[in-house]
Chains A and B, each alone.
Chain A
């Protein structure tokens, strides 16, 4: 590849994505961009998200028009450093496209990264592992009713520099539906057993919502297992929780009800697509899921309150901790972050709701990256 010329390609957000549509360009051709600037919006059948520039320079070519759909990995644009010759950029595009055609064929033949299953505490746990094997791994833990696909905008980006494991908690995704007592101790204990099963001694732990409380519990019970903690809109730091979200999620069986419940998760409810609702309904229809969710909700959020607060124990942790919260979170109040001990870094994201790792993926990825080196 040429120095100073950077390809911008269609990302792969989640296992099911094999193509995406460019909905709108946010930067004019020929305009300067900084790394991390929002370049364009991409729509998949599941979700729409902004895509950021991987490099600084000039957006010298926009190669896909608005409304066009292209496969994952296809060239969307070129960002060139100032001074790159036009002919050189054209040659780069031509070479990329020729190589992409060959690579796409090879990729179709070789298996992509697939979820695997491991036994932890006697229960099959489903997980997806991606990235390089060097350094301390990152472990991503979703929230109540979620699954490993919640990290679709994070895991691929983080996996460029890290070994990243995302798992389905018991009762969730494709993991076992038996959740024992369903309390925080059970979830943290299962996480410890899961790390044992994968031979991971220490990990950078990233937890969202209920998963935040679970990784916090793990780090308090087993201080040596955590290299750092990133807690995104975590449970476990105060008594309040949106009762109607929890009971609504457990109770919703029909598409319309579920759509209304899922809309509470986002600052922009327009992000809740038909496919997203359908995926959640498909999960909820599986035998054992209703009982699992009811057990966890009863144990962790009895009477619509959080049973356990670990906020006072944050001082026990000897490892770096950061908290990320969406200001427009309607599930766990951002006020919990404001009550934390001074000195603990809290990153409040003004535009995000409860799902900051989806709604502000670029920023969350940078914060996690900064924490993990």
Chain B
């Protein structure tokens, strides 16, 4: 099996689904690039090269470069989905959701419900998120809790290349609108990814480490940090379960609750701003439904409630780090000891 990057895994998922199903199209700003300008066609392939190579294979009829107007092309994608295509629209940075949110939450997310189940909206919005890219506060946010808040949207956070390919193919084949969030500092991560198409079902958390002392629930890039922490603490005799929910909507509450019933301790790691994020949501779930199992207070590891700083030192300090996660795990272990 070949090792592939997160970027390659996403590209391969798009290409394979476009080959399999002629109704799958991609659209977004500079998804190919070079249109109407001298020089290379397919000059960009997306701002970080994720869609590179799709236009030469599938043509400009199925790989659409859109104007810099998210409100128009996300709306167009929702309409195309409601009328028979399976569009994958790229919202370059999730930070730009503000200008097209009505199309997502009040249109695409409501069609099935408002039309009595007679409409399907197989729309995928691919979008980059996350800090660590030195891109300042308007290009570094997480924002997935906002989509998670809206019934009718499915929200996916792939944490590795294998996860990215299987979850994206699942997203494209899904008949509901799916927000597919790609963490921009994961694009060059590599792991073994099958060449064949495959799907990972939504709503089942991935158990990436199995332990008996503490449950760490982590999302997106934080899964990688949580795994590092779990491996490091094992030598100190602390054995951690790490759960990656994969999708925040639907959320695999069962796996989280069952794990906390076993370990009695919970640390939730979330890169999103700390108020009303996934850490608060998951903590509330466990506090309400598994309180009796808890041996220590729940700990949340999240950034401070501030825009993502541009100063590199401050940005590094802002992001939940393996050190902070490790300290939280030790704290819940030492509680009452």
Interface residues of A (CB under 8 A from B): 174, 177, 253-255, 274, 282, 285-288
Contact = CB atoms under 8 A, between A and B. Distances in A.
Q: Name which of A177, A254, A288 has the most chain B CB atoms within 10 A of its CB.
A: A254
Q: Name which of A174, A177, A253, A282 has the most chain B CB atoms within 10 A of its CB.
A: A282
B111 to A, nearest CB: 27
A285 B200 contact: yes
B232 interface: no
19 contacts: A174-B1, A177-B196, A253-B201, A254-B204, A255-B204, A255-B207, A274-B207, A274-B210, A282-B194, A282-B198, A285-B166, A285-B198, A285-B199, A285-B200, A286-B194, A286-B196, A287-B196, A287-B198, A287-B199
Q: Chain B interface secondary structure, helix, strand, loop or mixed? A: loop
Contacts of B166: 285
Contacts of B194: 282, 286
B155 to A, nearest CB: 20
B151 interface: no
Interface residues of B, number: 13
B307 interface: no
Contacts of B199: 285, 287
Nearest to A284: B198
Interface of B: 1, 162, 166, 194, 196-201, 204, 207, 210
Contacts of A254: 201, 204
B197 to A, nearest CB: 5
Nearest to A285: B198
A231 B136 CA distance: 65
Nearest to A115: B1
Given A274-B210, A286-B197, A288-B196, 5 more contacts: A253-B201, A286-B196, A287-B197, A287-B198, A287-B199
A47 to B, nearest CB: 14
Contact of B198 (A174, A274, A286): A286
A255 B244 CA distance: 13
A177 B194 CA distance: 14
Q: Name which of A253, A274, A285, A288 has the most chain B CB atoms within 10 A of its CB.
A: A285
Contacts of A177: 196
Q: Name which of A253, A274, A287, A288 has the most chain B CB atoms within 10 A of its CB.
A: A287
A48 to B, nearest CB: 14
Q: Which 8 A-B pairs have the closest CB atoms?
A: A285-B198, A287-B197, A286-B198, A274-B210, A286-B196, A254-B204, A285-B199, A253-B201
A282 B194 CA distance: 9
A279 to B, nearest CB: 11
Contacts of B1: 174
Nearest to A287: B197
